[in-house]
Structure 1
Amino acid sequence: MQREKFSSRLGFLLISAGCAVGLGNVWRFPFITGQYGGAAFVLIYLFFLIILGLPIMVMEFSVGRASQKSAALSFDVLEPKGSKWHLYKYFAILGNYLLMMFYTTIGGWMLIYFLKTVKGDFAGQTPQQVEAAFGALTANPWLMLLFMLIVVTIGFFVCSFGLQKGVEKVSKVMMCSLFIIMLVLVVRAVTLPGAAEGLKFYLLPDFNKIVENGIGNTIFAAMGQAFFTLSLGIGAIAIFGSYIGKDQALTGESINVTLLDTLVAIIAGLIIFPSCFAFNVKPDSGPNLIFITLPNIFNAMPGGRIWGSLFFIFMAFAALTTIIAVFENIIAMSTELTGCSRKKAVLINGILIALLSIPCVLGFNAWSGFHPLGAGSNIMDLEDFIVSNNLLPLGSLVYLLFCVSKYGWGWKNFTTEANTGKGVRFPKWIRVYVTYILPLIVLVIFVQGYLAKFFPSLFHS
């Protein structure tokens, strides 16, 4: 059967970026940046993005394009006879399902908050009432379940139309809308009275902050964020490599995707910091920033309902582009492994993901007594920990070693594929670094993730 291809290079770039652009760009990046000294941290982050994320992205795209398969079969096609690289497919498949088991719930939250803001539910509420509203949402399993199902349905409905007519068409519209909405919000944020302080904090490097936090901690935070922002390691990016032609070299394409991903993170900071400083609010992290801090800020802003609605539709698009991209990967894996039709894969996986997403929903209410990672943790934390702290770093290590080791696909095969087409080449001189140093860095990130999770006192003096 002929493999479907993207209709345009723009489609490929926007969808790959859509997969990489997740909620971490918006709720984690600004907070970590604020914590570790604003612009000084951004510079260190960009350095690590280039030396950590980029080479692995080129490798993942190359494995996808050379094999013309998803992670379910790409190693089977490319590995040397008798080797066992293909066993990784089970972890890649697990990673995609696990990611969607909690991401669909967060996508549902974004839609709920978009509707709440449009309806004016937060208008005139005190900060305490806004905070209570998020607590009321997570305590309501039926509402969360309904919106999780809506998100799953939207995602698989889009994928049922195929790559060009569904995934590519919708992702292009969503990504372009996302950039337009973000730029409108930036203009609003930077023109607020008092926004200049926020811009100064965000854009002027303060190297004292790095010293205060500890240089080691700052470097780890930058490495971690650079590593996780691109969603590498579970084949979610490789699938789009398998859908593109051979006319462009893959290093240049990876640079473009990385730039788009970084642009979204940096623009998010331009919305969040000026707004927080204008209203004397500390930029928080995680759900608090999105569902408590920002609704309070929109409340205080003239025309806040409009700005808030725009912000939450932008967040919904950021979540949905990732969800659609990963669903596409799951469908490709299913059709390759079983030989079933796309329609059948959509139907079965739609039901499966809906059922698998229920524990995350219940983890906030009916099963809130279950603390898998210690006090205060829930099922979403566990699922996120398995994906982010285990499958992404270890999966990246598999792709990395597969491409550089003579026991895997090998350096020559990898660079030949990466450099096929016009554009930026994968440099030969980098071979020693990606073979011997980069795998160690990835291992350090993996170990550090465990230490930070279970021995946090090591990182806070």
Structure 2
Amino acid sequence: MDRGFSTRLGFILVSAGCAIGLGNVWRFPFITGMYGGASFVLIYLVFLALLGLPIMVAEFAVGRASLHSAALSFDALEPKGTKWHWYKYGAIAGNMLLMMFYTTVAGWMFYYVYKMGSGDLAGLDADGIGGAFGALLSDPLTMTAWMALVVILGGGVCYLGVKAGVERITKTMMMFLLVLMVVLAVNSMLLPGGGEGLRYYLYPDFNRLLEHGLSEVIFAAMGQAFFTLSIGIGALAIFGSYIGKKKRLTGEAAWVIGLDTAVALMAGLIIFPACAAYGVSPAAGPNLLFITLPQVFNNMPLGQLWGTLFFLFMSFAALSTVIAVFENLICCFLELLRKDRKIIIRWGMLVVFLLSLPCALGFNVLSDFQPLGPGTCVLDLEDFLVSNNVLPLGSLVYLLFCVSRYGWGWDNFIKEADTGHGMKFPAWTRAYLNYVLPALVLIIFINGYYALFFK
């Protein structure tokens, strides 16, 4: 089997590619705009360290110690007679559910690269751009075609192998993404009038937090910090199984989270000055990406070029996650079925395509199906199942498995996490990981249902 990365940089960039996705470059800017800019960012960074880092280290440790995907990692490490290995089904289901809607949304990004590059959106106002996006959603053939392109690209990269495909192409894509972000950020910050957007984004004003209520802002920051890293479904554990023992895992996780955070912060440097320069509210919500920003690019010098590059960067961010999750699913079924990797990928591409159809058709053919109430669609249901159920509960499984004496246990976890050179995992956090962090994860889980049914 083609197991393992050729370089440490490959591991860090591929793991970062898994974590970096639409949560960074779409959700982070608009939720930051909604909750007051820099003051929200500060709270978000605190929770990123408190929530994200220890759970990511736990997932890496389980993967590296077991040398398996989520399909067999718990089997290899659990005490005899325990049932931790049952979570393999939850992890596989979570990865599959994520692919079922992420392929469609990633398809939108590639569609916008084409529309911006071809000039089809040039000269349109907000209503015109909204109409173009609405036309995409209402066309089942176009939606399916762009979704299929993402499935083919993601599966095709994995088909080339771990080193030649997943590592080499994701590493190249991530480097290009980072360069694109710097270029786009510099361009935005130099726009006349962009300084006001920078002040909003970088200068904390805690009075803004009180407009929404401090508790709501804290929950939003906790949720964003928790969900941005793709932890809890084994998608990072598989890459932990690909690396050696030379480096301690806390430092590796810090690198991945640092890159993930840098991309999110850079996305804000692109969007907030551009919004300020053209009088657009940064609190425009989800429409910020697909309707508001194309209008901004239409009014910008060389806007067609900048708009095309922006959505190309968005496409890379989305595709990097698709590739990482695809690789995790491939390894799970490879270990369970013991079939040839390329056979599993060929069948996997077909299965992912078929399972992604309800989401692609949920905006048109299946639009009468509104599972979470009026105005909702298949995507909302699938996103809710992953973001509000599988991710928090899966993270809780990894966390408790690593710290509980009924699981792998603290001593085994610390030994694995601290094997190699680099940053040690802080042993003084044991009580926090045993009691406080599980409670925080449960609070996030419960708040997801509260927000859905009582707000």
Bin for the TM-score computed over the shorter chain: over 0.9
Task: Select between 33-42 and 269-278 the one with higher mean Cα deviation.
Answer: 33-42
Rounded to whole Å, the distance in 1 between the matches of 2:23 and 2:330 is: 24
Give CA deviations for 1:116-138 in whole Å, capped at 9, x if unaligned.
11110011112211110000000
For residues 388-403 of structure 1, what are the structure 2 equivalents within 5 Å?
A: 388-403=387-402
Aligned to 2:10: 11
Rounded to whole Å, the distance in 2 between the matches of 1:417 and 1:274 is: 44
Rounded to whole Å, the distance in 2 between the matches of 1:220 and 1:327 is: 30
Rounded to whole Å, the distance in 1 between the matches of 2:358 and 2:322 is: 18
In the TM superposition, what is the alpha-carbon distance from 1:314 to its structure 2 partner? Answer: 0.4
Q: In the superposition, relative to structure 1, how do residues 279 and 285 fare at CA in structure 2: closer, same or farther (>3 Å)?
A: closer
Q: Does 1:439 align with 2:445?
A: no
Aligned to 1:98: 97
Give CA deviations for 1:385-413 in whole Å, capped at 9, x if unaligned.
00000000000000000000000000000
SS at match of 2:407: coil
Rounded to whole Å, the distance in 1 between the matches of 2:240 and 2:119 is: 43
Counterpart of 1:255, as a letter, is A
Aligned to 1:342: 341
1:117–1:308 CA contact under 8 A, matched in 2: yes
1:27–1:286 CA contact under 8 A, matched in 2: no
Question: Aligned residue pairs: how many?
Answer: 455
Aligned to 2:451: 452
Give CA deviations for 1:291-310 in whole Å, capped at 9, x if unaligned.
10110000010110000000
Q: In the superposition, relative to structure 1, how do residues 3 and 249 fare at CA in structure 2: closer, same or farther (>3 Å)?
A: farther
Counterpart of 1:297, as a letter, is V
In the TM superposition, what is the alpha-carbon distance from 1:383 to its structure 2 partner? Answer: 0.2
Rounded to whole Å, the distance in 2 between the matches of 1:285 and 1:274 is: 14
Unaligned 5+ residue runs, structure 1? 457-461
Rounded to whole Å, the distance in 2 between the matches of 1:453 and 1:16 is: 31
Rounded to whole Å, the distance in 2 between the matches of 1:416 and 1:286 is: 44
Q: Does 1:128 align with 2:131?
A: no
Aligned to 2:139: 140
Q: Does 1:359 align with 2:358?
A: yes
2:11–2:243 CA contact under 8 A, matched in 1: yes
SS at match of 1:262: helix
1:3–1:243 CA contact under 8 A, matched in 2: no
SS at match of 2:318: helix
Rounded to whole Å, the distance in 1 between the matches of 2:397 and 2:284 is: 31
Give CA deviations for 1:301-341 in whole Å, capped at 9, x if unaligned.
01100000000100110010000011000100010000011
Q: Does 1:86 align with 2:85?
A: yes
Q: Does 1:411 align with 2:405?
A: no
Task: Select between 23-32 and 296-305 the one with higher mean Cα deviation.
Answer: 23-32
Aligned to 1:377: 376
1:393–1:443 CA contact under 8 A, matched in 2: yes
Q: In the superposition, relative to structure 1, how do residues 23 and 286 fare at CA in structure 2: closer, same or farther (>3 Å)?
A: farther
Rounded to whole Å, the distance in 2 between the matches of 1:191 and 1:408 is: 54
In the TM superposition, what is the alpha-carbon distance from 1:283 to its structure 2 partner? Answer: 2.1
Counterpart of 1:33, as a letter, is T
SS at match of 1:275: helix
Unaligned 5+ residue runs, structure 2? none
SS at match of 1:377: coil
Rounded to whole Å, the distance in 2 between the matches of 1:321 and 1:214 is: 35
Q: Does 1:167 align with 2:176?
A: no
SS at match of 2:127: helix
Aligned to 1:21: 20
In the TM superposition, what is the alpha-carbon distance from 1:149 to its structure 2 partner? Answer: 0.8
Rounded to whole Å, the distance in 2 between the matches of 1:3 and 1:438 is: 36
1:283–1:293 CA contact under 8 A, matched in 2: no
Aligned to 2:47: 48
Q: Does 1:277 align with 2:272?
A: no
In the TM superposition, what is the alpha-carbon distance from 1:284 to its structure 2 partner? Answer: 4.5
Give CA deviations for 1:18-37 in whole Å, capped at 9, x if unaligned.
00001011111111112222
2:34–2:282 CA contact under 8 A, matched in 1: no
Q: In the superposition, relative to structure 1, how do residues 4 and 103 fare at CA in structure 2: closer, same or farther (>3 Å)?
A: same
Q: Percent identity?
A: 62
Aligned to 1:459: none
Rounded to whole Å, the distance in 2 between the matches of 1:285 and 1:390 is: 27
Q: In the superposition, relative to structure 1, how do residues 285 and 434 fare at CA in structure 2: closer, same or farther (>3 Å)?
A: farther
Rounded to whole Å, the distance in 1 between the matches of 2:108 and 2:64 is: 35
Rounded to whole Å, the distance in 2 between the matches of 1:421 and 1:154 is: 35
With the length of structure 1 as denominator, give the TM-score of the two structures.
0.98
In the TM superposition, what is the alpha-carbon distance from 1:3 to its structure 2 partner? Answer: 6.0
Give CA deviations for 1:390-443 in whole Å, capped at 9, x if unaligned.
000000000000000000000000000000000001111000000011000000
Counterpart of 2:201, as a letter, is Y
In the TM superposition, what is the alpha-carbon distance from 1:286 to its structure 2 partner? Answer: 5.7
